[in-house]
């Protein structure tokens, strides 16, 4: 035995769902994206992605019962295949792979499940093909694939700027527990951002001509109290400092979600928050025991899909080489 490892035939990477503890949204940019000042946190719901050598790109998707698999493309348009192609092109390679995605993160829920798959695929293929891509390059490629993909690589807690792709790790010393309340009917992210635009007043009056210069209405910022809550692990301060500018637009499109919020408050959550662009609702709890109690109360009031989850958890990481 020389001790040398034979090249792996397959690599499996696990990536977590994200939530936004704060989602500050500015006025739409000329490229159609919105400037963000956000605080991401990775929570304990996961997708697993296995990659293996193959002559052509192939993707299969399986998942837990609560995941609407029919909505996930099983062809080249899947973001995981785009991730694989982009990584191969970055290294000038003509390679392909088989990608098996096993989803535990609800689809179209505002939890960045597709972004988790893209991040997991980047990392898994980097390892399968022994590419040793630098972290900086992986983050940049991730940012090209989607606004939330860099954070899915990073995990933990982080600030996000730009359209969300410019991430910086943030100190999070808390042991947080959330109840994630899923919803059977997904919500389209672009539709929620469009409705945000409709509801957000700009400084323009209807009589003014279209400006040649972009109009700065407000720059979203990150609340100091939230950064302090994460640093100190103070759950009451966290409860008081979370927020999401997409919450009102999403609730306006989906008034049925208001009941989830009121049921959450009645179940004893310390705070309620829309996850990203929704429709998933997050209930902040004091600890693991409290989270189980709140989840039980939510199920009793008819919310079938409730998961007590810890946070922060790790970003994309290898779970097996076979
Ligand atoms: O970057 P990602 O592919 O996740 O974005 C999905 C859609 O969400 C975009 O096409 C855009 O409509 C909207 N979006 C936005 N501003 C952001 C992020 C996303 O308007 N900062």
204 in a structural domain: yes
Residue 202's domain comprises 176-311
1 in a structural domain: no
Residue nearest to atom 15 of ligand 1 (CA): 33
Least confident of 1-10, 91-100, 101-110: 1-10
pLDDT single digits (tens) 138-173: 999 999 999 999 999 999 999 999 999 999 999 999
Sheet holding 281-285, edge to edge: 271-274, 281-285, 176-181, 306-311
111 and 40, same domain (yes or no) = yes
43 and 189, same domain (yes or no) = no
pLDDT single digits (tens) 25-46: 999 999 999 999 999 999 999 9
Measure 155 CA to ligand 1 centroid, in angstroms: 20
Q: Which atom of ligand 1 is nearest to the CA of 35?
A: 21
Q: What DSSP designation does 106 have? A: P
21 and 159, same domain (yes or no) = yes
Residue in 26, 163, 196, 198 to alter for ligand 1 test, most ligand atoms within 8 A of Cβ: 163
Ligand 1 contacts (CB < 6 A) are 33-34, 36, 146-148, 163-164, 189-190, 193
Cβ(99)–Cβ(58) below 8 Å: yes
5 in a structural domain: no
135 in a structural domain: yes
Mean pLDDT taken over the chain: 94
Does the pLDDT at position 1 exceed 50? no
Q: Which atom of ligand 1 is nearest to the CA of 189?
A: 8
Residue nearest to atom 20 of ligand 1 (CA): 33
Measure 225 CA to ligand 1 centroid, in angstroms: 27
140 and 278, same domain (yes or no) = no
76 and 194, same domain (yes or no) = no
Cβ(294)–Cβ(271) below 8 Å: no
pLDDT single digits (tens) 235-278: 999 999 999 999 999 999 999 999 999 999 999 999 999 999 99
252 in a structural domain: yes
d(CA 260, CA 303) in angstroms, rounded, equals 8
d(CA 82, CA 183) in angstroms, rounded, equals 27
Measure 273 CA to ligand 1 centroid, in angstroms: 20
68 and 203, same domain (yes or no) = no
Residue in 187, 190, 250, 278 to alter for ligand 1 test, most ligand atoms within 8 A of Cβ: 190
Which positions are annotated as active-site residues? 18, 148
144 and 213, same domain (yes or no) = no
183 and 143, same domain (yes or no) = no
243 in a structural domain: yes
Question: What local confidence, expressed as pLDDT, does residue 243 receive?
Answer: 98
35 and 122, same domain (yes or no) = yes
pTM: 0.94
By CB atoms closer than 10 A (0-12, 13-18, 19+), residue 6 is: exposed
What count of other Cβ atoms lies within 10 Å of the Cβ of residue 294?
Answer: 26
157 and 17, same domain (yes or no) = yes
Number of domains in the chain: 2
Residue nearest to atom 19 of ligand 1 (CA): 33
Does the pLDDT at position 78 exceed 70? yes
pLDDT single digits (tens) 185-243: 989 999 999 999 999 876 544 555 555 555 555 789 999 999 999 999 999 999 999 99
Q: Which atom of ligand 1 is nearest to the CA of 146?
A: 1
Question: What local confidence, expressed as pLDDT, does residue 203 receive?
Answer: 54
Q: How much is the average pLDDT of 84-111?
A: 96
């Amino acid at each position: 035995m020389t001790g040398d490892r034979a090249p792996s035939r397959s690599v499996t990477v696990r990536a977590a769902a994200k939530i936004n503890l704060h989602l500050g949204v500015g006025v739409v940019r000329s490229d159609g994206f919105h400037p963000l000042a956000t605080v991401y946190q990775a929570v304990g719901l996961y997708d697993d992605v296995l990659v293996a050598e193959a002559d052509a790109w192939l993707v299969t998707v399986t998942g837990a019962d609560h995941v609407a698999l029919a909505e996930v493309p099983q062809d080249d348009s899947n973001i995981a295949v785009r991730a694989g192609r982009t990584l191969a092109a970055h290294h000038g390679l003509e390679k392909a792979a088989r990608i098996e995605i096993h989803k535990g993160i609800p689809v179209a829920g505002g939890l960045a499940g597709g972004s988790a798959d893209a991040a997991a695929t980047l990392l898994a293929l980097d390892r399968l093909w022994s590419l040793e891509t630098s972290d900086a390059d992986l983050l940049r490629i991730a940012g090209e694939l989607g606004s939330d993909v860099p954070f899915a690589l990073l995990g933990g807690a982080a600030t996000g700027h730009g359209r969300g792709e410019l991430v910086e790790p943030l100190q999070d010393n808390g042991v947080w527990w959330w109840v994630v309340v899923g919803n059977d009917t997904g919500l389209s992210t672009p539709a929620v951002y469009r409705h945000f635009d409709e509801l957000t007043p700009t400084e323009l009056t209807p009589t003014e001509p279209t400006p040649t210069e972009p109009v700065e209405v407000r720059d979203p910022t990150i609340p100091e109290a939230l950064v302090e809550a994460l640093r100190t692990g103070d759950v009451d301060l966290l409860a008081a400092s979370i927020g999401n500018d997409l919450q009102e637009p999403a609730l306006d499109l989906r008034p049925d979600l208001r009941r989830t919020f009121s049921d959450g408050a009645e179940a004893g959550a310390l705070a309620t928050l829309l996850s990203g662009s929704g429709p998933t609702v997050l209930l902040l709890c004091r600890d693991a025991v409290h989270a189980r109690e709140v989840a039980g109360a939510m199920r009793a009031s008819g919310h079938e899909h409730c998961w007590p989850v810890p946070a922060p958890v790790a970003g994309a990481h290898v779970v097996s080489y076979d």
